[in-house]
Every structure is written in C-alpha cells, then in structure tokens.
C-alpha cells in the first residue's frame, strides 16, 4: 500500500528497545530515546496500554490542516526479540495500515549518528525487526539510527547492550533530535522527502 493513499489513517511509531532502567542508556535502546523525545514534543506522557504489552502516547504532529497527522507513539515492553507481539496488538487496536507502521531502531551497519529511512526490506539480523516482520510482513517503514560496529573483537550482543560511550554521549542529544525530526518528516511529508533530507 502506498502511504499517500490513506492520509487520514493513524501512524504507529514504535521505538524499539528493552524495558527497565538497567537498559535505558544502551545503544539498543535508541529507539526508545527517539519516541521519548517525540512524546515530549507533543506534550504527552507514556501510559500502559490496556490491550498490548506496551506504553503508548496518542497525539498529533504537523501543522493544522491536511498535513496534520494522528500518531500513536509506542514502547513495547516485551523485550527486543518479542517486539512483534505488542506492535501487532497496537496495529490491530488502532486500525493502522501496515505501511503506516514505523519502527525506530539501532543499526550496526551505519556509522554512529547517521540515519537511513526506508520502506520494507530485510531485518539485517536485528531481532526486533525480525519479530515485527514475522508478525506483520516486511512492508512497514524503518528509521535506522546508526550505532556503528563493535570495536575489536567485542561480541555484537555486548556492544548493543552497553551504554553509549562518553564521547558518543556528547553528540547523542543532537542525533536523537535529528532522528525525531526525520520521523515527523516521514509522517507529514512522506518517505521520499524524508529520505532526501535525512538519509546520510
């Protein structure tokens, strides 16, 4: 489905991560960081959803008029590798077309802070995407936030479950802000415009 054919449908923006304070600063949780900022921008506070294992904020983004979009911001509470269950439950509850689902996630194969937006594709070994694709198919949007590759021989699992380094944290706020801008651009103006502006 082309997203332009159903402009009135809501958008589900799922930030991927692991619940709990011990994971909050991890590289794997950058999706949570982005949707936290989006919630702050629309003045919403996350609340536990009654029908899904997730926290949600409902609101609107965009200027008044035809470009104004209804959004549901979500943080699955199922742990990363089971993200598909909560995302599907929310998709069903809010009647969101699959093409209006956006997964915001960390990406190893992109330099730190760089963004890539796309519709569809593989999971590239990302367990959160693997779970969502198994549940929904692959025709949803992704906002990929680069975290780079692990240094030396550090296992990938150790790298993604560590906090950003002190040098990375100096720029993290800027990069999260830019990723939130990219999500808003995608929802309001479409994938092509968002890719042209934010893909790096």
Q: Are 135 and 87 in contact (CB under 8 A)?
A: yes
Rounded to an integer, the average pLDDT of 28-32 is 98
Instruction: Return the pLDDT at 4.
Output: 42
Per cent of the chain over pLDDT 70 is 96
Rounded to an integer, the average pLDDT of 6-12 is 84
Instruction: Return the pLDDT at 112.
Output: 98
Q: Is the pLDDT of residue 200 over 50?
A: yes
User: Which residues lie below 8 Å from residue 39, measured CB to CB, with a gap of 6+?
Assistant: 45, 46, 57, 59, 73
Confidence of residue 1 (pLDDT cuts 50, 70, 90): very low
Distance CA(114)–CA(122), nearest Å, equals 19
The catalytic residue positions are 28
Q: Is the pLDDT of residue 121 over 80?
A: yes
CA distances from 78 to 12, 44, 62, 67 (A): 17, 22, 30, 33
DSSP calls for 47-70: EE-SSSSEEEEEEEESSSSTT-EE
Per-residue pLDDT tens for 47-105?
999 899 999 999 999 999 989 999 999 999 999 999 999 999 999 999 999 999 999 99
Per-residue pLDDT tens for 149-180?
999 999 999 999 999 999 999 999 999 999 99
Q: Where are the alpha helices (DSSP H) in the chain?
A: 30-41, 84-94, 127-136, 156-160, 166-189, 191-198
Q: What's the DSSP call for residue 109?
A: T
Per cent of the chain over pLDDT 90 is 92
pLDDT averaged over every residue in the chain: 94
Q: Is the pLDDT of residue 8 over 90?
A: no
Instruction: Return the pLDDT at 6.
Output: 61
């Amino acid at each position: 489905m082309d997203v332009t054919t159903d402009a009135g449908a809501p958008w589900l923006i799922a930030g991927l991560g692991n619940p709990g304070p011990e994971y909050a600063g991890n590289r794997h949780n950058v999706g949570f960081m982005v949707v936290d900022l989006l919630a702050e921008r629309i003045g919403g506070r996350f609340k536990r959803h009654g029908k899904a294992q997730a926290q949600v904020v409902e609101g609107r983004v965009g200027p008044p008029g035809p470009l104004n979009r209804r959004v549901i911001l979500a943080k699955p509470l199922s742990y990363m590798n089971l993200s598909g269950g909560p995302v599907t439950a929310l998709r069903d509850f809010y009647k969101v077309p699959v093409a209006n689902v956006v997964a915001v996630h960390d990406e190893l194969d992109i330099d730190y802070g760089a963004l890539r937006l796309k519709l569809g594709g593989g999971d590239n070994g990302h367990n959160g995407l693997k779970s969502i694709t198994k549940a929904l198919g692959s025709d949803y949007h992704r906002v990929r936030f680069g975290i780079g590759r692990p240094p030396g021989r550090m296992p990938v699992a150790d790298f993604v479950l560590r906090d950003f380094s002190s040098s990375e944290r100096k720029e993290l706020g800027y990069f999260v802000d830019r990723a939130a801008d990219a999500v808003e651009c995608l929802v309001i103006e479409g994938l092509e415009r968002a890719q042209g502006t934010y893909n790096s």
